[in-house]
Amino acid sequence: MTLTIATWNINSVRLRIEIVKKFLTEYEPDILCLQETKVANDLFPHKPFEELGYVHRAINGQKGYHGVATVSKIPFDKTHAQEFCGKGDTRHVSVTIKDGIELHNFYVPAGGDEPDPEKNEKFAHKLAFLKEMKDFFGTRKGKKTNKLIAVGDMNIAPLESDVWSHKQLLKVVSHTPIEVDHLDEVMKSHQWLDVTRHFTPEPEKLYSWWSYRARDWAASDRGRRLDHIWVTPALAEAPVSSEIIRDARGWEKPSDHVPVITKFKL
């Protein structure tokens, strides 16, 4: 069995539904995990996905902010949405598919501008969210047998080559040492493998996000790798390729993030 999974922070699924359709038509993943959908569940645009064969959907959304959705050609055995930090926001949804594989779709808080939890509640929220992620996975038994995949906008670029300038971004939220340490603890909690970096090791630069502030994002190329696909040891041999779809940043009305896509042989 082959399986293709993509993850994409779409920054409003209704506003950017045309490029979502373009991506699904051109790349045909079996499953697409979206973050920052910015739509309440009852207003989610079901019809375009139905028309393209994505008839199975797990949605956890809210009006105007946050939100995650997993759309699929493959049926789900179970779905679940976990609340983190008691905030009432919608930052996680999981689905269980064939062979007991659990796919977790995350939208980690961005963290604001000041990397100090004492001064910035948004940054404190981000660190608390990551701690709860660590506990969420770390307390589960069967670390060698659990077939888990975690994807999404983790809002952290952990490696030096995941940012355009390690030195200049060390004090910028998304690449600070405290965030990287917290993300590392999440990864250790269930012995996660970073699939994208497995296929493209350091020191090659890899980005999945470019700011809207850049007049010419491609020329300046000041990117960060904020979007991730991870697998647990039980699936470590399953990924056969992983790609960041850089061209999507130049599509009409783009998100500031681009899709990351991984193919699995199960």
pLDDT in tens, the chain (266 residues): 899 999 999 999 999 999 999 999 999 999 999 999 999 999 999 999 999 999 999 999 999 999 999 999 999 999 999 999 999 999 999 999 999 999 999 999 999 999 999 999 999 999 999 999 999 999 988 888 999 999 999 999 999 999 999 999 999 999 999 999 999 999 999 999 999 999 999 999 999 999 999 999 999 999 999 999 999 999 999 999 999 999 999 999 999 999 999 999 99
For residue 218, what are the β-bridge partners?
A: none
Determine the Cα–Cα distance for residues 204 and 110; give it in Å rounded to an integer.
25
Peptide bond into 203 cis (omega under 30): yes
Instruction: Please tell me the pTM assigned to this model.
Output: 0.98
User: By C-alpha distance, which of 165, 222, 166, 228 is closest to 196?
Assistant: 228
Give residue 7's pLDDT: 99
Q: What is the CATH number of domain 2-265?
A: 3.60.10.10
Give residue 86's pLDDT: 96
Give residue 144's pLDDT: 87
